[in-house]
Amino acid sequence: MLLAASAPAGEPDGIRDLQSACVENASQKIARPYHFGSQGPGDVFSNHTSHSNRLVPVYAFGRKIDLSAVIGRNSRYRDPEKVKAAFGFLPANTVNPEAEYADQSDLYAVQKQAVERGVKHLFIVWFDGTDWPTTQAAALVKTGKVYTEGKGSGLFFQDFTAEGSAQYGFVVTSPTHDQNRVNVDRQTVVIPPTSLGGGYDALIAGPTPWRLGSLGPLAPGYFKGQSASSGDRRGVEEAGRVLHAYTDSSQSAGEMISGVKSYNNGLNVADDGKLIPTLFHELQAKGWKLGTVTSVPFDHASPAAMYAQNVYRDDYQDLAREMLGLPGILQEARGAPLKPGLDVVMGTGFGVTTNPRSLEAQGKNGVAGPLFITEKDLAAIDVKNGGKYVVAHTESGVNGGDVLDRAADQAAGSGRRLFALFGRDGLDHLPYQTADGGYNPAPSLGRGGKPAAAEVYPPADRTEQPTLARMTTAALKVLSANPDQPFVLFVEAGDVDFALHANNLDNAIGAVLSGEEAVRIIAEWVQARSNWDESALIVSSDHGHYLVVDDPKTLAEARRAGK
């Protein structure tokens, strides 16, 4: 048994106190243990609430998966032709003869090669929005021990060896372009000439996630890409360089599972509008079972990217149809063949309804009411109505984990699929298990730079909503019901991204720790039911944010000191 380390109950919640103070004095120019953005230490708390163009870590486990095939001397970034092949053009200042990092699209080849070598159980755990500083912060707070470079330690996926097969690297996540003009009803896309192109400038952004390049201090706004202010842009220009776009989640997750880079906000659609097949499609054609689990809406960008194809990531109702094997806009507009759908789909979105803006994003076939899956489609997939899925969802006053377990038992025992929909109106993610292990979030800083009150969870939320780890266990039960059938499982701690958009480190660390437990569940399953020859695991992220840890020692001591 791989034992979990949990925070002792009743200790002072220093990270919550720090986060609360940072929000309260956000406009003051003072020293803090951490900040968000390009402004440097001793300044305002934040000048950025979106993604960044940082390298993100990759952890791989299994004897038949090989990161070395795409990093170090095999990095595509050492070869201009390979860089051009990835982006469709040669981005300025992106070729680096000494590059150690891979491109995120290279992870597709790494996974496919593992399957070709005989892997029968492929796992992907995705910490949406988590870059090296976020991982560092979570490890510092969990252990109280400081590190400032390298792989680091303290989190399960940092320390787990998988019988000597553990590997580590980092990847570029930048897209081809940041802008697009899409027509959801016709499923067409045009990339405008004003779009900012992708790329990665190691002389600014650095050769590793923990070290800036020689020009980094001159151009801290480079990481902000298309969101850079005029001052940020001026710094990049004065350094004699150019900006590159940061990615969004849908494009990034899509390239990881398809090997093809494309524009922001699309799902497995190339810049020229062609539909891109994914590894999930390839494995399904070979008889594999497929599953996705997430702590955010089930058809949000990253889980949807494993299987769905759409010019726009917010066309949720059509994404749900694709993931669940129902006809939708791809068949109507483009005559695409209907795919069978996934075997396990879990996430939140229950009780969330459309508003005028979100309904418009669904296109002409959008239906008012539930946003993430229509009532008609939910009824159509249910085994009670002749569908293929045992359906579970939030039930008032009923333990959500128990609801999920019963549904998983039914699906596994009958050879059916499983669809689980949790959350509630006003809560589109699982409750944050914050840095101290409790469920008492700190205030946030909204995207407009205004303080936002902390989320408050009524007692029912702790009962009615399962944890990501419990969802992972249920998914494994269904996917492994036939021990002779291979499967792939994608698990996402999607609320890390939600927390970092809100500049909320307390929530982000808690979300990392909840994802860590999902990794532990998978590792325990492999060691009990499989082995590291026939199983492989990748742990990574779609992009970073702009968290900067200015004082690691204070951050490491904060929770227990109650500062």
CB 403 within 8 A of CB 348: no
What pLDDT is recorded for position 560?
Answer: 61
Mean pLDDT by groups of 10 residues along the chain of 563 residues: 37 86 96 97 96 98 98 98 98 98 98 98 97 97 96 98 98 98 98 97 98 97 97 97 98 98 98 98 98 98 98 98 98 97 98 97 98 98 98 96 97 98 95 90 85 92 95 98 97 96 96 97 98 98 97 87 49
102 φ/ψ angles, rounded to the nearest 5 degrees: -100, 180
H-helix or E-strand spanning residue 11: none
341 φ/ψ angles, rounded to the nearest 5 degrees: 95, 170
> In 3-state terms, what secondary structure has residue 64?
coil
Q: How far is CA 133 from CA 151, 248, 495, 544, 552, in A?
A: 11, 19, 16, 9, 10
Strands 121-126 and 535-540: parallel
What pLDDT is recorded for position 168?
Answer: 98
Outline where DSSP puts E strands in 298-409: 344-348, 389-393
CB 120 within 8 A of CB 537: no
Joined together, the tokens standing for residue 16 give 């919550």
What structural domains does the chain harbor? 14-219+221-227+242-269+279-561 (3.40.720.10)
What pLDDT is recorded for position 561?
Answer: 54
Alpha helices in 324-467 (DSSP H): 329-334, 356-361, 375-381, 400-414, 459-464
Contacts of residue 203, Cβ cutoff 8 Å, sequence gap at least 6: 93, 213, 214, 215, 216, 241
For the purposes of burial, counting CB atoms within 10 Å of the CB of 450, is it exposed (0-12), middle (13-18) or buried (19 or more)? exposed
Contacts of residue 207, Cβ cutoff 8 Å, sequence gap at least 6: 96, 98, 99, 100, 101, 213
DSSP assignment string, 69-95: GTSGGG-GGG-HHHHHHHHSS--TT--
Name the nearest CA neighbour of 553 among 145, 110, 117.
Answer: 145
> In 3-state terms, what secondary structure has residue 120?
coil
Q: pTM value?
A: 0.96
What pLDDT is recorded for position 495?
Answer: 94
What pLDDT is recorded for position 448?
Answer: 72
C-alpha 267: how far from chain center: 14
What pLDDT is recorded for position 3?
Answer: 30
What pLDDT is recorded for position 13?
Answer: 85
Alpha helices in 25-181 (DSSP H): 80-87, 106-116, 132-143, 156-159
User: Rounded to a whole number, what is the largest CA-CA distance in the chain?
Assistant: 65
CB 111 within 8 A of CB 125: no
Residue type, position 456, single letter: V
b/e for 494-522, b at 16 or more Cβ within 10 A? bbbbbbbbbbbbbbbbbbbbbbbbbbbbb
Rounded to 10 degrees, the C-alpha dihedral 551/554/559/563 comes to -120
